[in-house]
Amino acid sequence: MVTSTSRWWALGALVLSVLVIGLDATVLNVALPTLATDLGAGTGDLQWIVDAYMVPFAALMLPAGAFGDRFGRKRLLLGALAAFGVASLIATMAGGTGSLIAARALMGAGAAVIMPLSTSILPVIFPPAERGRAIAAWTAAMALGLPLGPIVGGYLLDHFWWGSIFLINIPVVVIALVAGAVLIPESRDPSAPRLDLPGALLSVTGLAALVYGLIQAPADGWGDAKVLAALAAGAVLLVAFVRVEARTRQPMMDLKLFRDRVFVWGAIGATFVSLGMSGVLFVVPQDLQAVLGHDAFGTGIRITPMVAGLMVGGLTGERLLKRFGLRQVMTGGLAVLAAGFGLGAMTQVTSGYGYIATWLSVVGAGVGLAMVPAMDGVLATLPEDRSGSGSATLQTMRQVGGTLGVAALGSLLSAAYIGGLPSGAPKAAQDSITGAVALAARAADASLLQAAQVSFVSAMDQVLLVCGATSLLAALLMAVFLPGRTARPGGAAESEHELTTAR
């Protein structure tokens, strides 16, 4: 039996688990120039140091959820945390790009297990009445780790060697391991279906190819042969995966979930939110550094209004959900999100941080209002014995949506930025706003600096406008297609029957 007090302590362990994922997703960005110098890493090496984490992260979530249902969610979660900690230790001691890339890949694999299993444990230990608050805390922890990355990374790089940005993971992982071992109950699928190896193989290779293509597209171009081949291979393999799952008696991914309109539209809404949030976190740090002149540490601090808005929006959404229902709250949250993006799209070069903080707060509130009810509604539709695979399906959709957002919005940002530069601008200035600022500083070229900043802000506004339009579209889709119910008819208030004694 999970008592009221122990379940909230268990939530603390789950929060620490996802906090380290959010932290590691962004901490590396501020260290790339240092890695280029200290390890002699070229542009391709730097790209793979980042991408080696993202590809297994997206590709392994589906089988991780299914394996958790079979072998025990707590057991696999603790194993993934241990693997993440070991990989972090290897990364701190890496002497070259090869070993660092390998360590990052292992970290991504660990994160792929931590993410869906930490989510799937929530409906196991929390009854519907408390689940909204638990999801709000879980979501806030994930979001808090994103701006904490540059803050922590910037501080560590200023005072220690580059490996310290990975060393910080280890104490967090150790605390999460101890707390999880003591506080989180074991849970699994009592029927213990056999492993769906063909489905696992097809899903991993298909998602890996798709995510690789999406990651490479902004760098190589959407018409590049390798990008097109990866995207086509990913699409073919995933279609084959769906066909195999439809014919398998005990599939890794329960396709019956997609007959439930709450699951389908709640997951789609959450994916739209992830896409928009990824867009903000992609463009705003560059604006804060290259246009407003803040360092990495200051940039991370100045993104926190979005996290504060998310926490307020999440807690408010939980209360409104009980009164108005899922459809109304999600639609309203996405509308608030669209309004925040609309305000952001009016940012000018002369706009001060106060204006940016205001619309970041609105965006965060929209994320909280939409995401927390979406995840609560989706988790309520999951069969209690398949919460691992169901949560993995949701998190995979969100991850791929976020990757697609960064790829597509990154391409839009680059094209709009280059198009706004004066003809004959140096190649370094065209590559990025950061390169333009560095070049202008070396050459004492104030006109180049001003032109690059104006062009970047204009390009950022276009990205935010697209994010706002997609959020508004999502709000309309939720209003039309999402049912108002928030839980399964006759669903159990708590899945106590599924809890087993940890072994």
For residues 202 and 186, give the distance between their C-alpha atoms in angstroms, rounded to a whole number: 29
Which of 72, 77, 60, 107 is CA-nearest to residue 201?
60
The pLDDT tens digits of the residues spanning 67-79 come to 887 788 888 999 9
Contact 47, 219 (CB under 8 A): yes
DSSP letter string, 222-254: TT-HHHHHHHHHHHHHHHHHHHHHHH-SS-SS-
pLDDT tens digits, 34-85: 777 788 776 567 767 877 888 888 888 888 887 887 788 888 999 999 999 9
241-250 tens-digit pLDDT: 989 888 887 7
Show the 3-state SS of 57-120.
HHHCHHHHHHHHHHHCHHHHHHHHHHHHHHHHHHHHCCCCHHHHHHHHHHHHHHHHHHHHHHHH
- Residue 67: CB partners within 8 Å, gap ≥ 6? 76, 113, 195, 388
Closest CA relative to residue 80, chosen from 43, 106, 53: 106
Residue 241 tokens read as 């995966």
**pLDDT (mean) for 277-282:** 82
* Token digits of residue 482: 């999402």
| pLDDT band at residue 289 using 50, 70 and 90 as cut-offs | confident
Render 441-453 in DSSP notation, one character per residue. Answer: HHHT-HHHHHHHH
Res. 468: pLDDT tops 90: yes
Under the banding of pLDDT at 50, 70 and 90, the label for residue 314 is confident
CB 323 within 8 A of CB 492: no
| CB distance 284 to 360 below 8 Å | yes
Helix (H) or strand (E) holding 499: strand 499-500
The pLDDT of 447-472, averaged and rounded, is 94
pLDDT tens-place string over residues 391-417: 778 878 887 887 777 778 888 888 899
Query: Model pTM greater than 0.95?
Result: no
Beta-bridged to residue 187, according to DSSP, are 499
- Helix (H/G/I), strand (E/B), else coil: 485: coil
Beta bridge mates, 105: none
Q: What is the pLDDT of residue 454?
A: 94
Q: Which of 36-40, 168-172, 338-342, 430-434 has the lowest mean pLDDT?
A: 36-40
d(CA 395, CA 452): 37
Measured at the CA of 394, the angle between CA 391 and CA 87, to 5 degrees, comes to 70
Q: Whose CA is closest to 298, among 180, 417, 154?
A: 154
Contact 75, 127 (CB under 8 A): no
pLDDT for position 499: 42
**Is 20 in contact with 148 (CB distance < 8 Å)?**
no
What pLDDT does 497 receive?
A: 36
Map residue 150 onto helix, strand or coil: helix
Residues in CB range of 484: below 8 A, 6 or more apart: 325, 326, 327, 328
